[in-house]
């Protein structure tokens, strides 16, 4: 195991990474500049556990920070901007912790988590990135808590493939498309997030996604608050889906969610809407004061409806 301190250095214009840390190294990397390297600014591999703090990491050819292998350690208060791929890439089985970083204007994701990585993303800013603030892929998991994932070119948080993260108390607002977007066979738990004022939906489920959504705010979006597409399922419980431009919760194609105790009021169309061949069930939901319908069932949709409050 090697430790040591690297501080106030410049790692600029290198033909590959600005710095590589591997083996069992546990150095402290503080107040350095990683700029315009052809690879990543800083790459961590093997079982290294560095402390990466207060660095400026910008305009690198791949990602600002890359963590792979079984790496861990802490990355805190770094400014990670304008990199050609992602601000932060986490792969392998890395369980690193990322805390209070400002990750802005990267061409793809603010943070991309793939393979079997399970990092902790805590109180970071993932704003104004080209695809999404945070993207989960493959079988990734871990947790994202108290992050700001706003004003990204597509989504606040995107969950894909078989990823199953725990998302708590994140602010996914004013993204051009969706606040929190689920695809593939993704799952996990999203609780107490604010997915409001997005260009499309607050939360969207596609394909065979089946997460559990609890106690989220999904208000004032330009489409519906929560939408289910494809063969998606999962549970939406005690969410507030109000004042959206279309429906509070929309269920389409062959989706079969369980909708329980949600508040869907003041939407421009219906509180709950079932289209196509949609099924599932809706019980104990508040669907008052919507402009067209409390609950709309059309086409061949056949949900089970029980004990919902629909009066104006």
Residues 280, 130: Cα–Cα separation, whole Å: 35
pLDDT tier at 1 (50, 70, 90 boundaries)?
Answer: low
* Contact present, 165 and 143 (Cβ < 8 Å): yes
What are the tens digits of pLDDT across the range 49-92? 999 999 999 999 999 999 999 999 999 999 999 999 999 999 99
Cα–Cα separations (whole angstroms), residue 176 to 83, 86, 173, 180: 20, 18, 9, 12
Residues 294, 280: Cα–Cα separation, whole Å: 17
Tally DSSP H helices, then E strands, for the chain. 0, 33
Residues 300, 285: Cα–Cα separation, whole Å: 22
Quote the tokens at residue 18.
């600005």
Sign of CA dihedral 167, 279, 244, 260: negative
Among 272, 237, 271, 277, residue whose Cα is nearest residue 256: 277
Residues 222, 13: Cα–Cα separation, whole Å: 43
What is the pLDDT, as a whole number, of residue 299? 86
CB burial readout 112-128, b (16+ within 10 A) else e: bbbebbbbebbebbbbb
DSSP 222: S
Question: Can you spell out the DSSP letters for 118-129?
Answer: --EEES-EEES-
What are the tens digits of pLDDT across the range 13-37? 999 999 999 999 999 999 999 999 9
What are the tens digits of pLDDT across the range 104-157? 999 999 999 999 999 999 999 999 999 999 999 999 999 999 999 999 999 999
Burial (CB < 10 A; 0-12, 13-18, 19+), residue 312, is: exposed
What count of other Cβ atoms lies within 10 Å of the Cβ of residue 101?
A: 29
């Amino acid at each position: 195991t090697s430790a040591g301190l690297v501080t106030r250095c410049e790692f600029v214009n290198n033909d590959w990474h600005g710095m590589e840390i591997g083996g069992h190294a546990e150095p402290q990397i503080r107040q350095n500049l990683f700029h315009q390297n052809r690879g990543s600014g800083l790459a961590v591999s093997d079982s290294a556990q560095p402390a990466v703090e207060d660095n400026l990491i910008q305009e690198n050819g791949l990602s600002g920070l890359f963590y792979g292998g079984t790496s861990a350690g802490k990355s805190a208060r770094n400014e990670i901007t304008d990199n050609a791929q992602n601000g932060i890439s986490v792969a392998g089985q890395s369980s690193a912790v990322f805390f209070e970083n400002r990750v802005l204007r990267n061409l793809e994701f603010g943070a991309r988590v793939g393979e079997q990585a399970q990092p902790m993303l805590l109180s970071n800013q993932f704003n104004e990135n080209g695809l999404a603030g945070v993207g989960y892929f493959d079988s990734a998991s871990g947790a994202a808590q108290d992050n700001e994932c706003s004003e990204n070119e597509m989504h606040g948080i995107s969950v894909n493939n078989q990823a199953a993260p725990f998302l708590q108390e994140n602010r996914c607002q004013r993204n051009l498309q969706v606040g929190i977007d689920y695809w593939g066979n993704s799952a996990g738990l999203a609780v107490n997030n604010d997915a409001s004022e997005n260009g499309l939906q607050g939360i969207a489920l596609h394909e065979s996604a089946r997460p559990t959504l609890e106690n989220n705010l999904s208000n004032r979006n330009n489409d519906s608050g929560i939408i289910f597409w494809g063969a998606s399922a999962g549970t939406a419980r005690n969410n507030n889906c109000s004042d959206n431009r279309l429906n509070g919760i929309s269920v389409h194609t062959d989706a079969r969610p369980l909708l329980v105790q949600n508040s869907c009021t003041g939407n421009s169309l219906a509180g709950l809407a079932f289209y196509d061949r949609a099924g599932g069930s809706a019980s104990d939901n508040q669907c008052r004061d919507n402009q067209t319908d409390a609950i709309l069932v059309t086409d061949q949709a056949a949900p089970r409806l029980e004990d919902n409050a629909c009066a104006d």
